[in-house]
Amino acid sequence: MNASNTTASAAERAQDAVNNERLQSAIAALAAFGGRDDGGVSRETLTPIDLAARRHLIDYARSLGCEVGIDDCANLFFRRAGTSDRTPVLTGSHADTQPVGGKLDGAYGVLAGLEVIAALNDAGIRTVRPIEVVAWTNEEGSRFGPGTMGSSAFVTPSLLDGYRQSVDKDGIVMGDALDAALKEVPDVPRRAMALPMEAYVELHIEQGPVLERANAALGVVTGIQSVRWYRVVCTGMAAHAGTTPMDERSDAMAAAMAIATQLYARADQEAAHNIRLTLGRWHVGPNSINTIPGEVEFTIDVRCVDAAVLDRFERFLQDVTSQHAWRGNITFENLFYRAPTAFPQPMLDLIEKACTRASDLAQRGAPKKVTSGAFHDAMYMADHCPTGMIFVPSKDGISHNAAEETAPADLYLGVQALAYTMVELANR
């Protein structure tokens, strides 16, 4: 018997055994936890409804024969044994949502992993390595900042102490919420953080319009954009709108506007490099109709796969704020920096093969190579083990919204591609 043929065949059989009806039912069942009349889902991390959803996932995974474990950050792991005790292959995503989110962002990746296990059961396939499915805690970061807590703490457990200090808007401390969540599942054994993994593959909705526009059902994610966040503070002098002549003003909004206009123009010049610039959060003081703004603060979110483009942007920001120093006191500071993530070529090759077979069988166009503009748990896992991601389209590119949607046929193809990839990895 040719081992390589056997492996390939198992991956194909796993791919073909994915059950679309069961997948859609599982998505609908989890969406009921925090489900909203508008079709959206409100299931912020570690809320009572999130704890109920976790119990639902534990029960479902056990019904598929999985062993369940939980770590100190309440990340849930569902394990299907392999024929060996080699390091496992991991898939999954997160089950928490934004305050108002959709039923797919995160949940889809967790349920896809469980559907892969169900398909393997149906097809009677055993893999060499164990397959694990994870539901990361607090990917969204909307209740307790920062986001991607679970995966980053898994990779770097020393982060957890700091995360536990985070406080939500009602004054609840993250550490207390975490302890309560752990207490809710006395039947689930605790397992260590940072356990070695052979590979991590995350299936997720794109949350952008690129795949839909290209009419591609599947996306091979080559990497995650580098992100830099800045805060610009322009301090002028608040004064009466009626009594202060224009040439006597130190108008912080006029300064902010001049700077922002130059930043937008710069982004236009870098359009070929697919830079993305967002000036999303503004604070204007005193924010009164008849008072000249004395202080304007705004944030910059700038992303690109090419770190050199962002280096140039930062130098430009430095120059522009200096140019406008005559208008008042203008400062900027870096709030966050994340280098680009490039997934390894062998992983991209494998995922492309898996996506191509699924697309071909469904008579859909070739998978498209895309970069991720959003953060994902895979960003941190890429520091821990060979990692990859698969995207399915988002209708109109909408996410973090009740209107988030992906065609069921595309969701099905995504899980097919994941099943193939996982079995290939688990038999190596």
Contact 275, 309 (CB under 8 A): yes
For residue 101, count CB atoms less than 10 angstroms from its CB and return exposed for 0-12, middle for 13-18, buried for 19 or more. buried
At position 159, the amino acid (one-letter code) is: L
Contact 414, 23 (CB under 8 A): no
Write down the residue that tokens 């991607």 correspond to: 148
Contact 109, 93 (CB under 8 A): yes
Which residue, 284 or 362, has its beta carbon nearer to a second copy? 284
Binding site for a second copy (CB under 8 A): 206-210, 213, 225, 227, 229, 239-248, 251, 253-254, 257-258, 260-261, 264, 267-268, 271, 274-282, 284, 287-293, 299, 301, 303, 335, 372-375, 397-400
Nearest distance, CB of residue 366 and a second copy, angstroms = 20
- List the binding residues: 94, 105, 140, 204, 400
Contact 107, 71 (CB under 8 A): no
- Estimate the crossing angle of helix 408-426 against helix 107-123, to 10 degrees: 60
Closest CA to 418 of 372, 341, 370, 357: 357
C-alpha torsion angle, residues 142, 148, 152, 153 (rounded to 10) = 50
Which residue, 196 or 245, has its beta carbon nearer to a second copy? 245
- List the binding residues for Zn(2+): 94, 105, 140, 204, 400
Closest CA to 96 of 68, 54, 124, 60: 54
Closest CA to 410 of 104, 60, 139, 10: 104
Q: Can you give 276-321 as a three-state secondary structure string? A: EEECCCEEEECCCCCEECCEEEEEEEEEECCHHHHHHHHHHHHHHH
Which residue, 227 or 355, has its beta carbon nearer to a second copy? 227
Write down the residue that tokens 């703490």 correspond to: 153
Write down the residue that tokens 């959803």 correspond to: 53
